[in-house]
Chains A and B, each alone.
Chain A
Amino acid sequence: MDSTLGIFNSQNALTDAGQGAAQTLWLTWIMTAAGIAIFVLVMGFIALAWRARGGGRTWWIVGGGVVFPVVALAALFAASTVVLRGIAGHMDAPHVIEVTGKQFWWDVVYDPEGRALRDSNEIVLPLGEPVEIRLKSADVIHSFWVPSIAGKMDMIPGRVNRLTVTATKAGRFRGQCAEFCGLSHPLMAFEVVVLPPGDYAAFLASLDGEARDAVTPTERRGAEIFQSAGCIACHRVRGLSEARIGPDLSRLGARAALGAGMWEMNTGNLAGWIADVGDMKPGAQMPSYNHLSGPDLRALVAWLESLT
């Protein structure tokens, strides 16, 4: 059942597709079990007290209110600290990905101090290898959360936060902004794709160089419209434009979702997006291109879908 739009494996902290999520899940089960046990005990105690006629005892308060909580909390704190060290401990990640939150999408740069390969709204992780994700914000506070893989971390203007994650299952997961960030906050999700390390290297290599060339006449027409209609002023497509105002579209067609993890990527949704973005995502900076003629829109969509 865990498939959004049929394209994601999960967005669920109760799965364990990453080291952080798995260790936290272990802690979650232990705390839940202990919590239920304590709840039942206390309720049972209340039921007994209701029937008891002997009067209260001071040791109940000392035992139930002080001794037992102190012991239980110390144990919990110890377990929690062990998990915390395990999650936040290794900082020597071989990969670095910089993610910048923007109202209401995600700018992604792989290897920011080296090759600086740019993409948007989709983050690819190598299976089983730690990745340091550097979290920034370009406007307001956002929060980066892929529940299936790891806990969340905020993206705060003026700061760089670091989150180290290790994905342990291949697949496509959904992440979402977890800090209220304005009008279209609910429409700010993203895709996380976990690939085997070899495929990951190949993926990075594919981010270098120019985007796929237009082949068919329709695609070529689409590429022309992309430039003449002004899309090029904001969107980067490798080889055509280096603009950084809107998301990078160099491999838009390869993504499974549109509009930052919100809608299935298909011809109808993409055309609808271009024609009426203000309706699909209020507050997005992109104007609606509802003045494009039908054939022009189809050509533009065809070309964008061909960018893989």
Chain B
Amino acid sequence: MSVAEEPAPCSGARMGEDTTFEAVWDTPKGWRVLSSVSHRVVGRRFIYTGFVFFLIAGVLALLVRTQLIVPGNDFLDLETYNQVFTMHGTLMMFLFAIPILEGFAVYLIPLMLGARDLIFPRLGQFGYYCYLFGGIIVLSSFLFDAAPDGGWFMYVPLSTTDFTPDISADFWLIGITFAEIASVTAAVELITAILCARAPGMSLAKMPIFAWYILITAFMIAIGFPPLIIGSILLEAERLLGLPFFDPLAGGDPLLWQHLFWLFGHPEVYIIFLPAAGMVATMLPTFVGAPLFGYGFAVAAVVSMGFISFGLWAHHMFATGLPILSLSLFSAASTMVAVPTGVQIFCFIATLASGRPRLTTPMLFILGFLAIFVLGGLTGVMLASVPFNWQAHDSYFVVAHLHYVLIGGMVFPLFGAFYYWAPHFSGRMLSERLGRWVFWLMFIGFNTTFLLMHLTGLRGMPRRIATYPEGIGWDRLNMLSSIGSYILAAGVALFVYDVFRSLRRGPLAPRNPWGAATLEWLYPPVTPGFNFHGIPPVHSREPLWDQPELLEREAHEVDGLMHGLRDGRRETLGCDPVTGAPLYILRLPHPTWVPMIAAAGLALMFGATLASVYWLCALGGVIALAAFAVWAWEPSDSGVERDVGMGTTLPVNLVDRRSHTHVGIVGTMLVLMALFASLIFGLLYLWNTQPQIAATMAAPLAVPSGLAGIAGLAVALFGQFTRHFALQGRTGRAALLAQLTAIAALLSGASLGWALLPVDPRATAFGATLWAIAGFVAINLCVVVFWALFNAARKLAGRVGPGQSLPDFNLATFAKGTGLMVIISAAFCLAGTLGGAAQ
């Protein structure tokens, strides 16, 4: 398109006038760039690293297709093939799809919402290094000739020590769990950023649609990843310590793994789809020249999709022998998800009709997305039918379906997004001409590969088979699918070429090259490190279209809050989560190595676990803990007020439940509660499926169980009072109650352990799960105690000024949640006691 080919007028913002501001936000130079915490740097790293994993996983896919091109092929032996398809799925799902989308969210959300950075920048850096190190651990298994070969779903008992005695499964469990930390931290970070740091006046209803998609996705990650994290930890504990969570002889159940896995795995599909759909909903209006039609419908659809996606997991398990009633319920729920999907598709269609669509490369990818994803959705509805599912499940029909949904629903929008947002990464446009080639190669290659697979599957070809005999009726179909995969790969290769070509020869991107409506185009795409000199008040969903004053002047001259505020600190605006009214100045950290050191400590801990060098493991843990302590050890700035311009004066920080730190703690509690709920789910599930073995377990002691319950209640109540006094600014009382909370936490942890003394965790899965619950609660209680000591130490060291009660307030919120966990755990111990007494 024409805009792309024009040479860019160089804007003054590249050398803006406000040097103090730019110096404060400048990205560190040289190798110190690794200490950067800026969302621009971290987001791009997620995207680049994710793309590298995409290419690796793509090569693995080509190996798969090459092996299957003819029957009886011996290009790969069975073991290698199993490793290759396992790693293909693992890399694509865990190390490409989620991280790259989170990378886009990390990069775009502050720019779109009018924030100068994400709110917890160090968490972003920490998450990135967890992801990188975890990914390296998983990939390094190839070097040790121990690549995981149990499938990306790691079903037990195949992945237990009985059937996978080598450490390949440990590589998977440890590496992936490590990398998942990044997903969860990014989720908490994004929830808080979207709720707490928006431009003045940007109410929830005026947020760009992308922010809604990311907000819901982040909540889904916070709730959806914990079941898998818990499942992986339980499985690793079974492998390392012999705790029989999944062993049917000891009251465990292999299906518990499948439930936990798909409790994660199904929402995961929507976690991958929604951000990509959010990209479509962002790009489409630009090329149509009209706002997204049906914004409210789209938001409602995304929210309901978030809920429904947690009720579908068992449709991956229709052939496991579930009762007919469960089958029907899950079948109905699975068909129902087509409704919010349909609503979104029709919002897009109605948007198309609202203006004059331009057929740019991103638009081509959007059309490709619509075609492929609609077909994938329709086969998804077919698979929701139980009888059909019994035939199609674990056949190539499902392979076709899932690639239609994931490549159509995620990869095509993503490539559109690459073309659309490319100026943000290089300052240059990608080629529209090559882009068309990339699209058509990918589109034709994709459909050749996967359309035929529907038929291959119905003709009876199961998934995950390294070889097949000649003459069953699969030969030509597989040959064509393999040829298609090479065409698809050629499209991706051409894209990579286009990227490198454009770095040198691509036309420079002007300010807002596509004529978009959202704030990320306010500045010329590439700035050294800053986002907004002044944060402009926003009173439209399409600010760049409806507020002409924004594009009339050079970007750095646009009027806004905090323009010219000189604190020598990185700062952005904290807002009311609902109305977007500015509430406070939010001080942000500067570049630091600490999060990286924490992640490296964890990497050492996980790596040493793999190598069974446990003193090194402890050392890694100590390094990580020390880094976390340094991280949190910083002055609290509450109580200062600043004039932020435009007639507004705001305080620095806020002692309120709307404070970003408090929202972050609540987000963290959400994750912890989901982890806890996953354990409770496991306990109830085992109790329900294997009651006779659960009954053979030695009962927990009644008196300490009761004590634990009372102490837990005390933790929660003291926490509540601490919050109360902290909100009133009565810091002395708040501090005293925080100490009491810590003492109650110690007591409850000890009683819980005492109550479980008679329970042998190796004897029954039920006992092992009780111990796992107690262990998880104990870790949270340790955090409460550690935190209370830490706050006290900060006060002694004068790092918390008088009248600043925010640290105790946040601790108390955490303690309340932990107290609730103790009470529930104690109740289950008591139930175990009573159940034992009833025998």
Residue of B nearest to A147 (CB): B460
Residues of B in contact with A, size category:
35 or more
Query: Are B468 and A60 in contact, with the CB atoms below 8 A?
Result: no
Give chain B nearest CB distance to A81 CB in angstroms: 6
Which residues of A are found within 8 Å of B459, using beta-carbon distances? 11-14, 147
B390, A2: Cβ atoms closer than 8 Å: no
Task: Using A64-B346, A139-B157, A262-B469 as known contacts, say yes or no to A73 and B297 having CB atoms under 8 A apart.
Answer: no
- Cβ B350 vs Cβ A60 within 8 A: yes
Q: Is B386 part of the binding interface, using a Cβ–Cβ cutoff of 8 Å?
A: yes
The smallest beta-carbon distance between A28 and chain B, in angstroms, is 6
B816 within 8 A of A: no
In angstroms, Cα B395 to Cα A23, docked, is 19
User: Which of A70, A79, A157 has the most CB atoms of chain B within a 10 A radius of its CB?
Assistant: A157
Pick from B151, B331, B346, B352 the residue with the most CB of A within 10 Å: B346
Query: Are B339 and A65 within 8 A (Cβ)?
Result: yes
Any B CB within 8 A of the CB of A112:
no
A152: which of B82, B339, B356, B391 is its contact (CB, 8 Å)? Answer: B391
Min C-beta distance of B17 to chain A, whole Å? 43
CB distance from A39 to the nearest CB of B (A): 6
**B343 x A77 contact (CB < 8 A):** no
User: Cβ of A12 and Cβ of B473 under 8 Å apart?
Assistant: yes
Binds A, one of B112-120, B230-238, B246-254, B611-619: B246-254
Q: Is the CB of B354 within 8 A of A56?
A: yes
Query: When the two chains form the complex, which single residue of B248, B345, B350, B354 contacts A42, counting CB atoms closer than 8 Å?
Result: B345
Complex Cα–Cα for A11 and B149 (A): 27
| Contact call A46/B370, Cβ cutoff below 8 A | yes
How many chain A residues sit at the interface, stated as a range, is 35 or more
A236 to B460, CA, bound (A): 31
Q: How far is the CB of B383 from chain A (nearest CB, A)?
A: 10
In chain A between 75 and 89, which residues have their CB closer than 8 angstroms to a CB of chain B?
Answer: 76-77, 79-81, 83-84, 87-88
Give the number of residue pairs across the A-B interface with Cβ within 8 Å: 270
**Residue B698 at the chain A interface, CB threshold 8 Å:** no
B783: chain A residues within 8 A (beta carbon): none
Closest chain A residue to B155, Cβ basis: A141
- The smallest C-beta distance from B772 to any residue of chain A, in angstroms, reads 20
Query: In the complex, are the beta carbons of B163 and A139 less than 8 A apart?
Result: yes
B255 and A156 within 8 A (CB):
yes
B486 close to chain A: CB less than 8 A: no
Chain A CB within 8 A of B564 CB:
no
Contact partners of B527 in chain A: CB under 8 A: none
Q: Tell me whether A154 and B163 are in contact in the complex, defined as CB-CB below 8 angstroms, given that A180-B158, A182-B158 are known contacts.
A: no
Name which residue of chain A comes closest to B252, CB basis. Answer: A158
Flag whether A222 is at the interface (Cβ < 8 A): no
A270 CB–B CB distance under 8 Å: no
Taking a contact as CB atoms under 8 Å apart, the answer to whether B158 and A20 are in contact is no
A57-B350 in contact (CB<8A):
yes
A45 within 8 A of B: yes
Instruction: Contacts A4-B472, A282-B77 given; indicate if A145 touches B462 (C-beta within 8 A).
Output: yes
Chain A residues lying within 8 Å of B343, measured Cβ to Cβ, are 61, 65-66
A80-B331 contact, Cβ under 8 Å, with A56-B294, A61-B347, A65-B343: yes
Question: What's the Cα separation between A182 and B471 when bound, in Å?
Answer: 24
Complex Cα distance A33/B47, Å?
A: 40
Q: A49 is contacted by which of B162, B349, B466 (Cβ under 8 Å)?
A: B349
Say yes or no: is B419 at the interface (Cβ < 8 Å to chain A).
Answer: no
CA distance A4 to B467 in the complex (A): 14
Q: Is A28 a contact partner of B381 (Cβ separation < 8 A)?
A: no
In this assembly, does B753 line the interface, its C-beta being within 8 Å of a C-beta of chain A? no
Question: In whole angstroms, what is the CA distance A145 to B318 when docked?
Answer: 14
Residue in B290, B338, B387, B471 whose beta carbon sits within 8 Å of that of A84 in the complex: B387
CA separation between A3 and B472, bound complex, in Å?
6
**Neighbouring A residues of B389 by C-beta, 8 Å:** 151
- Whether the pair A185, B374 counts as a contact (CB closer than 8 A) is no
CB-CB < 8 A to A58: which residues of B? Answer: 294, 297, 350
Write out, one digit per residue, whether chain B residues 281-315 have a CB within 8 A of any chain A CB (1) or not (0). 00000000010011001000100000000000000
Is there contact, CB below 8 Å, between A156 and B338? no
- Give the residues from 331 to 385 in chain B that come closer than 8 angstroms, CB to CB, to chain A: 331-332, 335-336, 338-340, 342-347, 349-354, 356-357, 367, 370-371, 374-375, 378-379, 381-382, 385
CB proximity of B80 to chain A, nearest CB, Å: 11
A24 contacts the other chain (Cβ, under 8 Å)?
yes
Q: Which residue of B lies closest to A145 (CB)?
A: B462
Known contacts A13-B458, A38-B378, A84-B327: does B394 contact A179 (CB below 8 Å)? yes
| Contacting residues, chain A, for B351 (C-beta < 8 A) | 56
- With an 8 A cutoff between CB atoms, is A307 at the interface? no
A23 to B387, CA, bound (A): 9
Q: Which of A170-178, A204-212, A245-253 contacts B (4 or more CB under 8 A)?
A: A170-178
Q: Is B1 an interface residue (CB 8 A)?
A: no
Contacts of B378 in A (CB 8 A): 35, 38-39
Q: How far is the CB of A47 from chain B (nearest CB, A)?
A: 10
Q: Smallest Cβ distance from A233 to chain B, in angstroms?
A: 22
The CA of A159 and the CA of B248, in the complex, are separated in Å by: 8
Interchain CB contact (< 8 A) of A64 among B78, B320, B349: B349
Give Cα A49 to B458, complex, Å: 35
A45 touches B151 (CB 8 A): no
Instruction: Write the chain B residue with the least CB distance to A264.
Output: B469
Asked whether, in the complex, the Cβ of B344 is within 8 Å of the Cβ of A183, the reply is: no
A117 to B163, CA, bound (A): 29
State how many angstroms separate the Cβ of B814 from the closest Cβ of chain A: 39
Tell me the complex Cα distance, A79–B387, Å.
Answer: 10
Given A65-B344, A84-B327, verify A154-B469 contact (CB < 8 Å).
no
**Which residues from B are CB-within-8-Å of A174?**
460, 472
Residues in A1-47 with C-beta less than 8 Å from chain B: 1-6, 8, 10-14, 20-21, 23-24, 27-28, 31-32, 35, 38-39, 42-43, 45-46
Do B462 and A49 touch (CB < 8 A)? no
Does B467 contact A186, Cβ atoms closer than 8 Å?
yes
Q: Is B579 an interface residue (CB 8 A)?
A: no
A249-291 contacts to B (CB < 8 Å)? 262-263, 282-283
CA distance A87 to B390 in the complex (A): 11
Cβ of A97 within 8 Å of any chain B Cβ, yes or no, is no
Asked if A140 lies at the interface with its beta carbon under 8 angstroms from chain B, I say yes
A147-172 interface (Cβ within 8 A of B) = 147-148, 150-154, 156-159, 161-162
A241 within 8 A of B: no
The verdict on A31 contacting B157 (CB below 8 Å), with A46-B352, A61-B343, A66-B343 known, is no
Give chain B residues whose Cβ lies under 8 Å from the Cβ of A13.
Answer: 391-392, 395, 458-460
Among residues of A, the one whose C-beta sits closest to the C-beta of B164 is A182
Pair B472/A2 contact, Cβ less than 8 Å:
yes
Would you call A21 and B385 a contact (CB within 8 A)? no
Q: Are B328 and A177 in contact (CB under 8 A)?
A: no
A88 and B339 contact, CB distance less than 8 A:
no
Q: Which single residue of chain B is at the shortest CB-CB distance from A57?
A: B350
CB-defined contacts of B394 to chain A, threshold 8 Å: 143, 145, 152, 178-179
**Among A2, A6, A70, A176, contact of B473 (Cβ-Cβ < 8 Å):** A2
Instruction: Name the CB-closest residue of B to A140.
Output: B158
Are the CB atoms of A27 and B465 closer together than 8 Å?
no
A-B contact pairs, 30 of them (CB 8 A): A10-B473, A13-B458, A14-B458, A24-B388, A27-B387, A28-B458, A32-B382, A35-B378, A46-B367, A50-B352, A52-B353, A55-B354, A68-B342, A70-B339, A84-B328, A139-B162, A143-B319, A151-B393, A152-B393, A154-B320, A158-B249, A178-B463, A179-B155, A180-B463, A180-B464, A182-B163, A183-B79, A183-B149, A185-B464, A185-B465
Hey, which bits of chain A sit against chain B, CB under 8 A? 1-6, 8, 10-14, 20-21, 23-24, 27-28, 31-32, 35, 38-39, 42-43, 45-46, 48-50, 52-58, 60-61, 64-66, 68-70, 73, 76-77, 79-81, 83-84, 87-88, 103, 139-141, 143, 145, 147-148, 150-154, 156-159, 161-162, 174, 176-187, 262-263, 282-283
Question: What 19 new A-B contacts, CB under 8 Å, besides A35-B379, A103-B163, A159-B321?
Answer: A1-B473, A10-B473, A13-B391, A28-B382, A38-B378, A43-B374, A48-B353, A50-B357, A55-B293, A55-B353, A56-B352, A61-B350, A65-B343, A69-B342, A79-B385, A152-B394, A180-B150, A180-B464, A187-B78
